[in-house]
Amino acid sequence: MNFDLTEEQKMLLKMIKEFADEVVAPEAIERDRNKTFPIKVFKQLADMGIMGLPFPEKFGGAGADTISFAIVTEELSRACASTGITYSAHISLGGAPIHLFGTNDQKEKYLVPICTGESFGAFGLTESNAGSDAGGTQTKAALKDGEFLINGSKVFITNASYAKHIAITAITAQNADKKEISAIIVPTDSKGFTINEITDKMGLNASNTTELIFEDVSVSEKNLLGKRGNGFKQFLITLDGGRIGIAAMAVGIAQAAFDKALQYSKQRKQFGKTLAEFQVTQFKLADMAVKIELARNMVYKAAWLKDQGRAFGKEAAIAKYYASEIAMEITDEAIQIHGGYGYMREYEVERYLRDAKLLEIGEGTSEIQKMVIARHILNNQ
């Protein structure tokens, strides 16, 4: 097995690491406090050709692989998790379903603006009563005279305020308890479509989280994404890729917390020694480093399998489950190493913990990931 990055991946890592350190990180604390969306950062990423990184060049992308996407997501998240989740959702949830299931005309119309950064990518699945249970969707789209009339709502949707169109799931037919769920691309300037921003959050304060409300929103039948009735299946496939992004985010946050804890332990003195000289601190740092390395390797494995066109759902779920768990553990430990200063916003580690918590929830809780992993195991035996 070859664990070396390709020359292209090494160049990308160097470039995005420098960008994250020099451009993204310096204002991360201020963005978190003021809940300021990093629009300037993403304009620069668009100029760098990063906004369409894994999508084909013919649609404005860079034709890169999933490992490259994971590298960028990790580095952005290391500097600012709000920036990381914005990018991850833009690619893996916003652009991916259009790339995977869209017609050529739909890709020209909707994927190109995502790749160029003209529009952010967003994904409308979650509802107040339908999160991990995507089959509980209640939003309806009635087809009449070549138009879908959409009514319902979505919640906890990332990037919608900055998106020009959103792929959503809706019930297009129902027979008793059996729902036909389809995916539909909805322009955000459609009449009757309202986007409300949610700002009162625990963490990821500089990211855009919204509620979508559809009141007799009329959309052409041509905006059907993929085959009618395949929306549920399509979005499950999309979520497999999304888990790689969430896992890469978790690794980035954990790495940031570890870096801060390591730096602090070398500087802070107690009883005439630096914290790093105490064996108990060394054990903590070793445990943190091991967990980060294992999580990153799992992210890369899932990404590599995806790039090879092989089944990767189990590995993506494992990566998401493990990386999000260790991100919480490591951010908590980083606060402990900082002592009282860890509780202060100035030292940043408390922000890492607040940001990491969502990763145990987004794309399904740890319990949901265990169910996904178990299903793969049982189905393969």
Give one DSSP letter per residue of 242-285, joined into a string: HHHHHHHHHHHHHHHHHHHHHHHHHH-EETTEEGGGSHHHHHHH
Structure tokens at 32: 């978190």
Pull the structure tokens for residue 380: 């393969």
DSSP reduced 3-state for 352: helix
What is the CATH number that goes with domain 232-379? 1.20.140.10
> For the chain, what are the domain ranges?
7-116, 123-229, 232-379
Q: List average pLDDT for each run of 10 residues in the chain, which is 381 residues long.
A: 91 98 96 96 97 96 97 98 98 96 97 97 89 78 95 96 96 88 96 96 96 97 95 89 96 97 91 91 96 98 96 94 96 94 88 94 73 83 50
Q: In this predicted structure, what is the pLDDT of residue 379?
A: 84
Identify the active-site residue in 18, 22, 363, 367.
363
Q: Is 210 helix (H, G, I), strand (E, B) or coil?
A: strand
Give CA–CA dist 324/328, Å, rounded.
Answer: 7
What number does CATH give the domain 123-229? Answer: 2.40.110.10
pTM assigned to the model: 0.94
Given this model, what pLDDT does residue 132 score? 64
Can 277 be counted among the known catalytic residues?
Answer: no
**What sign does the dihedral 9-13-14-16 (CA atoms) show?**
positive
pLDDT for residue 364: 59
Q: Are 291 and 334 in contact (CB under 8 A)?
A: no
Provide the pLDDT for residue 259: 97
First-to-last C-alpha distance (Å) of the chain: 25
327 vs 256: CA distance, rounded Å: 10
Q: Taking the mean position of all CA atoms in its chain, how far away is CA 235?
A: 14
Region 7-116: CATH code? 1.10.540.10
